[in-house]
Structure 1
């Protein structure tokens, strides 16, 4: 079976985040910030964003649980994670570099949108990296503004993006 055919048949499951996911999700975040985003950000910027020295597993785990996070798994291995608030704000969405281009982010976004819609959110919003912008645009998000947050004294660039939450056609009357 070809690699692309194998990717198409990979089962991606989404489940709620548990405290046992803290180490794997933190590792995914750091790898995504320092490896995946390295094509769009400088070494200084990726190091400031990842902020490895300031991260500890307990704080990370508490923050993930507080955001109502969820994980995507492939063969029971955490491949990515995300979250969405009741108002539709996606704070984080990251995929492990080795699982890129296998539908993980798409599956996470579908799950986030379903949860936001169920909560009554009218739109999905996110602050999106340069790297993630094309992905979000493919799924109907539009840039509402360019932003320049400063992390550890280093200026980054990201984009405030939004997408209206529209009821799926199968549910509309």
Structure 2
């Protein structure tokens, strides 16, 4: 699959929400119960989804030029003057694009963006499903967390990794 990474546009809102929903429903079932999956997906509207993304740097992955969206990543960057860590707020890939390099390309973009402003570390909250992916890319578990969605308990992992210096620095 040829993957094109491009900046998020306002016209992508509904399709990115669909990517999120399809990813959770299609990939999290081995690690979470049906009740947990549906609580995680919730009943977000496009407006709620857009509001939650305010202030984030987002890119999307499409299946080639003009193709459907197959993934997205949302990054919260610290003020370069204040310093601090970058937060990978979310990253989702549709099931049919899983294990085809889409998530790796999205993560690579996020790491380079964070390095470019001098963030020393990147943190994320990884699902049970995503844990091996992040561990294989240098993230370490800082702790297990319990979160509640719609009255249903879910577990995830606080993870982080050093970003190191920019190449050639």
**Fold in common (TM above 0.5):** yes
TM-score under structure 1 length normalisation: 0.87
Trace 1:1-173 onto structure 2 (pairs within 5 A).
Answer: 10-51=1-42, 53=43, 55-75=44-64, 76=66, 77-86=68-77, 87-168=85-166, 170-172=167-169
Kindly indicate which of the two structures has a greater share of residues assigned to helix. Answer: 1
Q: Is the 8 A contact 2:55 2:76 kept in 1?
A: no
What's the RMSD between the two structures over aligned residues? 1.3
For residues 156 and 52 of structure 2, what CA distance do their matches in structure 1 show? Answer: 21
Kindly indicate which of the two structures has a greater share of residues assigned to strand. Answer: 2
- Cα distance, 1:162 vs structure 2: 0.3
Q: Is the 8 A contact 1:32 1:95 kept in 2?
A: yes
- Cα distance, 1:161 vs structure 2: 0.2
| Unmatched runs of 5 consecutive residues or more in structure 2 | 78-84
The runs of 4+ residues in structure 1 deviating greater than 4 Å are none
TM-score under structure 2 length normalisation: 0.89
- State how many pairs are aligned: 160
| Unmatched runs of 5 consecutive residues or more in structure 1 | 1-9
3-state DSSP of counterpart to 1:101: coil
- Cα distance, 1:65 vs structure 2: 4.4
Q: Is the 8 A contact 1:89 1:126 kept in 2?
A: yes
